[in-house]
Amino acid sequence: MRTGRQLDDLLQQCHFHLRSEQLAPMANEAAAAEPPYLAFLEQVLRCEIDAREEKAMESRLRQAGFPYMRTLEDFDFAFQAAISKRHIQQLTTMQWIDDAFNLFFLGPPGTGKTHLSVAIGSAAVDKGYKVRFISMDQLVSAFRTESTEPKAQRILRAIRKADLVIIDELGFLPITRTEANQFFQLVNDLYQQTSVIITSNKSFEEWPEVFGDSVITTAILDRLVHHSELFSLSGDSYRMTHRKTFLTA
């Protein structure tokens, strides 16, 4: 009779994710119930498929690079009445990703833009899509060091291979003309191939101030807005309204 270690070696050689301690209860149950051999084999293979799917999902979630985890169930739609809960929930079908549509969440700080983008992005990960989250500041940093830093090269390569790219906080910091051109090139590479979510505290009319060039801005918006949905968020900052304090009366 094979030991657990020997069985684990065989499972590893077959590139199985299951291990002997997971198979043991199934084998004991099969010994008592005496199912047909093929039925037991099917049970083992289904467990292996489930294990592989779970590992793949964990890998996609790790590679997405979310700053934190959020869900649509966590979002306070009553506080942010400028958007429709039903409309947002329809996005979880992910048909818009299949059609390479883009989403914009525009509005003041604290109105839920990043929360929504992370929640939708994590739902996409659950459904098997490759997602990459990056702040505009981090993206610009990658542009600046792409020629010398392998990490920056890996980041930009992963973005170009993603099904959905989330660019957070566009507009907080101005960028140079060179960086604006690099951003245009990235948008052009993703155009009609990859869906993009952009969050920004700037309206489209203010984007020329961010990129420092109205011509480049027009070219960027032309590609991003072609197939897109715009969500304008408004109101007070949720964080400020629900802030916690150590002070007591």
- Say whether both 36 and 94 belong to one domain: no
50-64, 104-118, 195-209, range with the lowest pLDDT: 50-64
Question: Which residue type does 60 have?
Answer: R
The two structure tokens encoding residue 185: 């090139």
Give yes or no: residues 232 and 145 share one domain.
yes
248: in domain: no
Token duo for residue 122? 């994590």
Residue 27: per-residue pLDDT: 78
Q: Taking 50 as the threshold, does the pLDDT of residue 171 lie above it? A: yes
Q: What is the pLDDT of residues 175-231, one digit of tens each?
A: 999 999 999 999 999 999 999 999 999 999 999 999 999 999 999 999 999 999 999
Same domain as 84, residue 162? yes
Domain boundary among 63, 84, 107: 63
Q: Is 193 exposed, middle or buried (0-12, 13-18, 19+ CB in 10 A)?
A: exposed
Contact at 8 Å (CB) between 111 and 237?
A: yes
Domain count for the chain? 2
Asked which of 20, 44, 63 is the last residue of a domain, the reply is 63
The answer as to whether 128 is a domain residue is yes
Is the pLDDT at 243 greater than 80, yes or no?
A: no
CA 201/CA 74 separation, integer angstroms: 22
Q: Strands 195-200, 131-135: parallel, antiparallel or unpaired by DSSP?
A: unpaired
How does residue 2 score in pLDDT terms, banded at 50, 70 and 90? low
Q: Are residues 206 and 119 in the same domain?
A: yes
The answer to whether residue 156 scores a pLDDT higher than 90 is: yes
Same domain as 16, residue 108: no
Same domain, yes or no: 57 and 76: no
Q: Which residue has the higher pLDDT, 46 or 242?
A: 46
Give yes or no: residues 79 and 193 share one domain.
yes
117-155 confidence digits (pLDDT tens): 999 999 999 999 999 999 999 999 999 999 999 999 999
The CA radius of gyration of the chain, in Å to the nearest whole number, is: 23
Domain co-membership, 110 together with 149: yes
Residue 249 lies inside a defined structural domain of this protein: no
What percent of the chain has a predicted confidence (pLDDT) above 70? 92
Residue 194 lies in a domain: yes
How many whole angstroms separate alpha carbon 182 and alpha carbon 159? 14
Assess whether 104 and 213 both reside in one domain.
yes
The range of the structural domain enclosing residue 54 comes to 4-63
Answer yes or no: are the C-beta atoms of 103 and 91 closer than 8 Å: yes
The pLDDT, as a whole number, for residue 31 is 79
The CATH number covering residue 159 comes to 3.40.50.300
**pLDDT(41) > 50:** yes
Report the C-alpha gap between 166 and 168 in whole angstroms: 6
> Pick from 80, 130, 71, 17: which is nearest to 234 by CA?
80
Final residue belonging to a domain, choices 63, 81, 102: 63
115 and 18, same domain (yes or no): no
Q: Answer yes or no: is 246 within a domain.
A: no
Cα(140)–Cα(157) distance, rounded to whole angstroms? Answer: 14
Q: Give me the mean pLDDT over the 95-113 stretch.
A: 96
Residues of the chain with pLDDT > 90, as a percent, come to 66
Helix (H) or strand (E) holding 167: strand 164-170
Residue 119 shares a structural domain with residue 137: yes
Whether residue 156 is found in the same domain as residue 48: no
Residue 65 has pLDDT above 80, yes or no: yes
Q: Is residue 123 part of a domain?
A: yes
In sequence order, the β-bridge partners of residue 140 are none
Residue with tokens 């020629």: 147
